[in-house]
A and B are shown apart, each in its own frame.
Chain A
């Protein structure tokens, strides 16, 4: 196909050609960035929590009045929950992944340090590692003789009594790598306020209850503290048991002490669903906009293409009369669209890159990966070709006899 005649024709239709180019460029720039944001959100939504989500339940209760014997009540609750058929593990905990409310603390590697090295979240509760289904990758789990009662720890901290505080700790692999890059974390010490704690175990992954910075999402520590706050994690033997166990557990807890209120009761799958609801909504909206954009662009090409064909009926007829085949005419319009799309795509890529730079500054988005450029180009080429097909076929159908008519 000869490109030069197409170019010379386009030169006489500068504005229309320019509009097609601008439209394709804008669409390309917006869609590339939107798809990139969508992929970021989808990645975030499939974030690994490190816990055995499909078999976990979370129940949170609150007392109506003051209760004195919280500790023994918790033991009763735990024993009763363990009795329910289908229950594998239970734990009374301080906080849970996807729970949104969290306790966090600055960590130091040296007590003389002024600024903390990093901020990590604090999980605790006896039997927490098996109950959450965490994967231990080094060292050991916390042992019963490591544990202290939470209230004693608080009192000890207020009295500056180091002996009543936890001595050992389990941390996540990510946190260990951040604190001691390339080194073995076991046996090392970290300082919380001014008190040292020795790392005895490392778990593969455990995300924070609330994530305000994705890069610090797995800085979690597990303390040997027994909790008695009425917040329980139940791990069932199979995922199918969950609903039944949840109902049974609530009935049992209510039976043990009717004078309390259930604040939360859900499966971890539901918690994850709720936790990422904003990301899901954003991704959905972006998908909608991308589809709408591509449709509008395609319709624009169809509209302009039809106009173009109508305007050049006579010219087409002449060409046909001079021996051009239908395929020649079809190819002509297809090539024309391909040329316009290519220019639009090139401009669009530059624009996409510029928008991405802006987003990187204002919305802390990473750099647009290179793969988006070829994929975006192919997508727009295909859309352009499909959109121009209708008008081009109509052009090809113009009979040579048109040339002889005075329009």
Chain B
């Protein structure tokens, strides 16, 4: 029966080309617009580390002075050097890393390459296993190398291509800011989206090309990037390690709920201890958001993108209302044909099914054209200058969503016209023939 109805549907679509084209076009436009924006939203609100994000947490404490204190306000977004180092060395979590962004002058050994600046991350050794960073060659540096302020560096695959022609460069020397660093590892492709560990240096930025121990970066005064918030008389970059300024990100890995609770407890104890020492003056105020929660707090998905998605769905709604109207016109115009079918014994149910299949076919055609439009739309998005633009690609899930949305919404739009068409009294239609 289904194939017969399908055949009928295709014939009927061919009979009234203008109306059919209008319907398919309307659905295609609506689907194209909503799938483009939905894909962007889907990409931007994704999980940067699937499988690992549930165990990563971002401890927050409040070391600020009593000035500008307001009850109930959130602790700062970053930590001071002193607190970061204290928590790092306390090792109360399964893994922990203290870090900040920066940029370093790279001096290639080759004469044909000019010196250039590279984005860098100054961090501690746990960064790599904690964030599941893939290595192409070599390994991360060790905790001992952190403590010893070793001149070691891990570089990205891209930088390795540029400087060493893509060969295994571990053991080679890389000069940065007139200092010789030994390459200990080369990363494989790695671009977590969003740039979750430091949203301040670009919410959807690519990961850095140079990774240096935080202690080393401080020892040779590599330049730090990202926001620095100071209070009191803070602000002296020369002595950043003692200043009342927050400028570092601290992450921990906690493998069980019990450990999360225990860590929160530790943060409270730590704050109380610092209060007793007179370093902290505010009431204890600690938070321990998980990775995804932290992204929410930072509102990483741009407001514009959400607005665009709403707009696109509004547009789809108009297109569907339009389709309902056109389908109604199309189905009622066939009152005669349907009357004959009814008179020859087709039940209301069968006529209804036939018309719904016809809407489904329209939906499928609209979905196919819409998919094409979505590809064009995403191509246009990728040409935009925003830092997330290059991420806008359709994945399997979105491809499926496109067809479910296209066929589903068209079937929904077809319900009313099909129902109306079923109400036709066969006798009346036959009489007027």
Contacts and interface: CB of A to CB of B under 8 A. Distances in A.
Partners in one complex: yes
A66 B178 contact: yes
B225 to A, nearest CB: 9
B236 A157 contact: yes
A373 to B, nearest CB: 19
A300 B326 contact: yes
Interface string A106-128: 10000000111000000000000
B317 A26 contact: yes
Interface in A269-319: 274, 277-278, 281-282, 285-286, 289, 292-293, 296-297, 299-300, 302-304, 306-308, 310-311
Given A261-B117, A263-B117, A281-B385, A299 B322 contact: yes
B308 A297 contact: no
Given A193-B233, A278-B304, A363-B303, A293 B22 contact: no
A386 to B, nearest CB: 16
B145 to A, nearest CB: 24
A302 B325 CA distance: 11
Q: Which of B178, B328, B420 has the most CB of A within 10 A?
A: B328
A22 interface: yes
Contacts of B29: 292, 296
Q: Looking at chain A's contact residues, is the secondary structure mostly helix, strand, loop, or mixed?
A: helix
Contacts of B324: 19
A391 to B, nearest CB: 11
A16 interface: yes
Interface in B301-337: 302-304, 307-308, 311-312, 314-315, 317-319, 321-322, 324-326, 328-330, 332-333
Contacts of B107: 64
Nearest to B311: A289
Q: Which of B30, B116, B326, B432 has the most CB of A within 10 A?
A: B326
A63 interface: yes
B233 A22 contact: no
A267 to B, nearest CB: 17
B311 A286 contact: yes
Contacts of A261: 105, 114-117
Contact of A158 (B67, B239, B312): B239
A185 B30 CA distance: 56
27 contacts: A15-B328, A19-B325, A22-B321, A26-B314, A26-B317, A30-B314, A34-B311, A64-B105, A65-B178, A114-B68, A116-B68, A154-B238, A157-B236, A277-B386, A281-B384, A285-B308, A286-B311, A289-B311, A289-B312, A292-B315, A296-B315, A299-B22, A299-B25, A299-B26, A304-B325, A307-B328, A363-B307
Interface of A: 15-16, 19-20, 22-23, 26-27, 29-30, 34, 37, 62-66, 106, 114-116, 154, 157-158, 160, 193-194, 259, 261, 263, 274, 277-278, 281-282, 285-286, 289, 292-293, 296-297, 299-300, 302-304, 306-308, 310-311, 359, 363, 407
